[in-house]
Amino acid sequence: MADAQFKKEIENALENEVLRGALGRFGDVYGKSREQAYQGYDFPALREKVVEAKSYAAEHLDEMLDQFEKAATARGAKVFRAETGEDAKRYIVELAKAQKVKNIVKSKSMASEEIHLNDALLKEGFDVQETDLGEWIIQLAGQRPSHMVMPAIHMTKEQVADTFNANLSYTSDPVIAKLVKTARREMRKKFMDADMGISGANIAVAETGTLMMLTNEGNARLTATWPRVHVFLVGIEKFVPKFEDAAYILQTLPRNGTAQQITSYVTMITGPNPTYYPDGSIQDKEFHIILMDNGRRKMYEDEKFKQVFNCIRCAACLNVCPAFQLVGGHVYGHIYTGGIGTILTAFLNSEKDAENPQNLCLQCGKCTEVCAGNLDIPGMILEIRNRIGEKKGLPATQKFILDVVSNRRLFHSLLRVASKAQRPFSKGGPTIRHLPMFLSGLTEGRSLPTIADVPFRDVIKNMKQEVKNPKGTVAFFGGCLVDFVYPKIGEGVVKVLNEKGYKVIFPEGQSCCGAPASYMGDRQNARKSAIMNIEAMNAENVDYVVSACPTCTHALVESYKELLADDPAMLKRAEELSKKSMDFAKLLTILGGLEKGGDGVPLKVTYHDSCHLRRKMGLIAEPRNIISNIKGVEFVEMNESDRCCGFAGSYSIKFPEMSGPILQRKLKNIEATGADVVAVDCPGCLMQINGGADQAGLNIKVKHTAELLLEKHLNAK
């Protein structure tokens, strides 16, 4: 659970209109620009090559280190392997002293930020100048980078001008061209006086000892060529085996990072460059390469996190993250920001420093979709969350709630009682718009649906399933919301599957899928729910198991196998359940769909993609085809249909201040379509979007695809 200070930092960031505007504008254009940059390229194929090269290098790390050192040394470099950040700083300080260095220029290097290199050099009396424009701006402002590729993205030109005016002896106007000219003038002096240059690298080629830098300003090339002493500080995760492997990163990094086809400068350095002296003499510069571990090897040795070595530090994951776009990088607390930054912080700094930032992840999976290294960032953040939960335990209130949810009889009894106790708040209607006192936050920015008077588990007992010549049996996993809040969705699922020739059963022993426990870091209760549901669903005796909630489907298909990996007997049953489980849209598609039909009444429908359905289940076209097959329906695509609605399970309760703006963006996109109905396939998304639309007074209905089929297709017969 996030602490009070962290929540305050989030509030401050959300109240910063300048920050919100800068991040929002970039986020709005990034997606389309990136798409254009990849036109004519097969991103999945390129990504596969990146993963192949980076994975091989990581698996043969010591071989890469030896091969690189041998090649680089043969060309005149001096290579030092730094086990820790302190080792790296000590080496650079001692080198600078030995070489009688006074002035140092640095090109962009997140590795140097990671170990606070500037502080160490300044403490020893050296003049240290950042030469990347963004890095120089935040150096003058006394800030940390807010983004791994664009460190000053959070600042406006007016703020930059104010920073320059406060630190320079002349006035700068808030005009970008003039500010750049000022920076060039100031930095050129520093380059001319510099004795030492320090660089970071994007790629290290083991085969040739080559280091590559991708930049847009030319400062990195000057840093590498002008001073008489040059030092590269390189993390050991930057290796690729062969020169040709670098081509895949050269094609993906700029497109992912800044939506460019290629950066302005691609600099490749193999061995020391010559230094030209005023007297006409030429001498190879003092050239040093520091290969830094600082927790990276520990990260690779952890089976759950070794994939991080595939990261090319493009920061695309930040550019598409709904949470990052709201609050920026500084609330993440350490040097590395965003989802990948949370993971890096846990290993390169401390797990404690990652404890608060990991809460910001919505688990929407958009980052993985664009990641050039195909990293499962949400999965790794969830693993950090679970490890923290196991070590520290959950707050008492959260633990109590999850203990109740994992106790089927108690949980269901309380829900039945709540269906009666809610009446004063719902005033007899289907919606709760206000809750009192400490519960008021639950209805902040959205209404809540009432608990159904009769849960689906009771409804199905009275449903007549007229199935002639049954083809088989389907077990229906309802999940909490379908069972106790939206039984009409369940009716739609049953009637559609009856239409396809299948009898549907609803096993009484089923309960919550365990996702709330998993996503809140309570693996113990998640495991308890997994066992309970495996036993209840008895997948061995049915043809299919269907769910109308993608989060539940993911639990049945993937999570249970992981939770029960150490129990051979239960794992076997989990695998059987996984094999037969699928979401409603997928099962209906596999069974051939419904014949085109419906009431023919014109209805404009748009569609919101559930994060789990699209990115975990890979279902995109299927629900759209189902909806478009209904007579009378005019389907219209919405902008950012796959952008998270902000529900994310308990996220909307823990972070209503984050969930609210994300929901508002979704509502604006829905409203812009002019649709009468927005269809969804996730009951959680339905609750979030419907609640927000109700609070905003929007004249639009939100329906699950199964419910839409029931009303427009099956009931029309």
Cα 184 to Cα 171: distance, rounded to the nearest angstrom:
15
Which ranges constitute the DSSP H helices of 311-460?
A: 316-319, 322-327, 338-348, 351-354, 366-370, 377-392, 396-405, 408-421, 423-426, 456-459
Question: What distances in angstroms separate CA 256 from CA 106, 260, 262, 305, 690, one per listed residue?
Answer: 24, 8, 10, 22, 34
Query: Three-class SS string for 442-510?
Result: HHCCCCEECCCCCCHHHHHHHCCCCCCCCCEEEEEECHHHHHHCCHHHHHHHHHHHHHCCEEEECCCCC
pTM: 0.91
Phi, psi of 704 (to 5 degrees): -70, 145
pLDDT-wise least confident of 24-33, 109-118, 400-409, 438-447: 438-447
pLDDT at 442: 61
Task: Using the predicted structure, report yes or no on whether residue 234 has a pLDDT greater than 80.
Answer: yes
Chain Cα centroid distance, residue 326: 13
Q: Which residues contact 582 (CB under 8 A, 6 or more apart)?
A: 544, 545, 546, 547, 553, 557, 590, 617
Q: Are the C-beta atoms of 513 and 525 separated by less than 8 Å? A: no
Task: Using the predicted structure, report yes or no on whether residue 428 has a pLDDT greater than 70.
Answer: no
Cα 544 to Cα 546: distance, rounded to the nearest angstrom:
6
Cα 381 to Cα 599: distance, rounded to the nearest angstrom:
46
Q: Are the C-beta atoms of 300 and 61 separated by less than 8 Å? A: yes
Cα 491 to Cα 459: distance, rounded to the nearest angstrom:
8
Task: Using the predicted structure, report yes or no on whether residue 243 has a pLDDT greater than 50.
Answer: yes
Task: Using the predicted structure, report yes or no on whether residue 59 has a pLDDT greater than 80.
Answer: yes
Task: Using the predicted structure, report yes or no on whether residue 438 has a pLDDT greater than 60.
Answer: no
Cα 12 to Cα 215: distance, rounded to the nearest angstrom:
32
589 burial (CB, 10 Å; 0-12 / 13-18 / 19+) is: middle
The amino acid occupying position 25 is R
pLDDT at 17: 84
User: What count of other Cβ atoms lies within 10 Å of the Cβ of residue 291?
Assistant: 22
Question: Residues of the chain with pLDDT > 70: what percent?
Answer: 97
Query: Pairing between strand 431-432 and 677-680?
Result: unpaired
Question: Which one is predicted more confidently, 443 or 668?
Answer: 668
Helix, strand and coil content of the chain, in percent to the nearest 5, comes to: 55, 15, 30
pLDDT at 437: 46
Question: What distances in angstroms separate CA 460 from CA 503, 506, 583, 684, 691, one per listed residue?
Answer: 12, 8, 19, 21, 26
pLDDT at 606: 98
pLDDT at 433: 67
